Structure 1
């Protein structure tokens, strides 16, 4: 048996199935997307016309494309500036609960396992201008009707809040796992020395969970760059394309308008932007988060 495991052919046979699947569902689609991004093709006909960098020039010169890029940036900014601090805050609260901790973890995690279509429809009712819960509450304070999903001033914010509500619980469970893994002796020793709960959280818990917070931020960046389903369900990119993200912009051209070559160009740009952002984050910030050893 040991002799067989030392045989290079054995290792090759073990990795072959995974390599075939990776080639079929990852490597080949990327190569195919790059190839078709240099063409003019409707995705149906046999005629594929090579047009060089024309698609890239068109995309980078299209104002609507840059609106979609900006909206992806808003997803990232909202996640890092608002969502991540909320995740850490609620994780610390739940970690210090002495009873019904399992109930709280289940409650915050529940939206993450729900379909995005269900989430979008549910919040669509909440944002409904005439009978929606949000406007009904605001009317009690004399606020006029707000068209949350039909007004360019509020539509993107409404989507960001909905998306954060769906995924905050998933990240809370991740951070909670890191907090729970911290040896209790550290906090007990700090408590004996007279440190308050806030001091223990700021000087012990937060530094020790910094690596998992870094992971949460990186996952948030990647998730923000591929956001599409929540936008499609809630606004379809409207009003007037103000809530389009790069993925929905790509779908409109590749599928709705049968501009498959141009759609692949946008897909390649999404891949490149995501790769650059995650690489920059890893280089500038994430690598400074040292692996914690207790």
Structure 2
């Protein structure tokens, strides 16, 4: 057995299927998208017409594209500035619960395993202007019904809240696992020394879970850049394109109009923007979150 494990061919044989799948479903689509992004192609013709950087120039000078990119920015800001602090707060609360901890973990995680289509339809009923739960509550306080998904002022924030509701539980479970892996002796020693719960949270727990918080932020950024399904289900980019993100812009103005060359150019831009943002985060923030061992 040991002799077999020392044979390099064994490792090549074992990893070869993974490399083939990686090439087929990751590398090939990327290089294919890059290739077609420099062409004018309707997705049917056998000979795409090479047009150089025209697709990229069109996208980068198109106002609707930058409005969609701005909405992706709203997703990032909401996720990092509001959702992540709430994730940490609720994780600390659940970690200190003495009874039914498993029930709380299951309850917060449940939305994450539901289909985005189900989530979108469910919250669509909540936002319904006439009989929706949210407007029914507002009516009790004498506030006129609001058109949450049909008014440009509220549509984007409504989608952001729905998206946060779906994915907050997933990240809570990640952070909670990191908190529960901290040796209890550290917290007990601090409590004996007279540290309050707040002091222990800020001086012990949060510093020790910095690496997982960094991962949560990076995943939130990546998720915000590829957001599309929740927008499609709830508003289809409306009203008047006010909730379009880059992915829905690509589908609406490129793919459905058989402008596959332009669509691939937008896909490449999404990939580049995501790569730049995650790389900057890794260089400026994540590298400072050193791995902590205890």
Task: Give your verdict on TM over 0.5.
Answer: yes
Q: Distance in 1 between matches of 2:265 and 2:163?
A: 26
Q: Distance in 2 between matches of 1:89 and 1:284?
A: 24
SS at match of 1:52: coil
Contact 1:253 1:260 in 2 (8 A): no
Structure 1, unaligned runs of 5 or more: none
Q: State the shift of 1:6 in Å.
A: 2.3
- Cα-to-partner distance string for 1:207-245 (whole Å, 9 max, x where unaligned): 111110000000000100110000000000001111000
**Does residue 1:2 correspond to 2:2, yes or no?**
yes
Q: Counterpart in 2 of 1:100?
A: 100
- Cα-to-partner distance string for 1:234-268 (whole Å, 9 max, x where unaligned): 00000111100011111123421110000000000
Q: Distance in 2 between matches of 1:3 and 1:189?
A: 50
SS at match of 2:109: helix
TM-score norm. by structure 2 comes to: 0.98
- Report the RMSD for the aligned CA atoms in angstroms: 0.8
Q: State the shift of 1:127 in Å.
A: 0.3
Q: State the shift of 1:47 in Å.
A: 3.4
Q: State the shift of 1:2 in Å.
A: 2.8
Structure 2, unaligned runs of 5 or more: none
Q: Distance in 2 between matches of 1:247 and 1:106?
A: 31
Q: Counterpart in 2 of 1:76?
A: 76
Q: Distance in 2 between matches of 1:35 and 1:254?
A: 16
Contact 1:83 1:164 in 2 (8 A): yes
Aligned length: 294
Runs of 4+ in structure 1 off by over 4 angstroms are none
Q: Counterpart in 2 of 1:240?
A: 240
Q: Distance in 1 between matches of 2:110 and 2:284?
A: 34
- Cα-to-partner distance string for 1:53-87 (whole Å, 9 max, x where unaligned): 00000000000000110000000000000000000
TM-score norm. by structure 1 comes to: 0.98
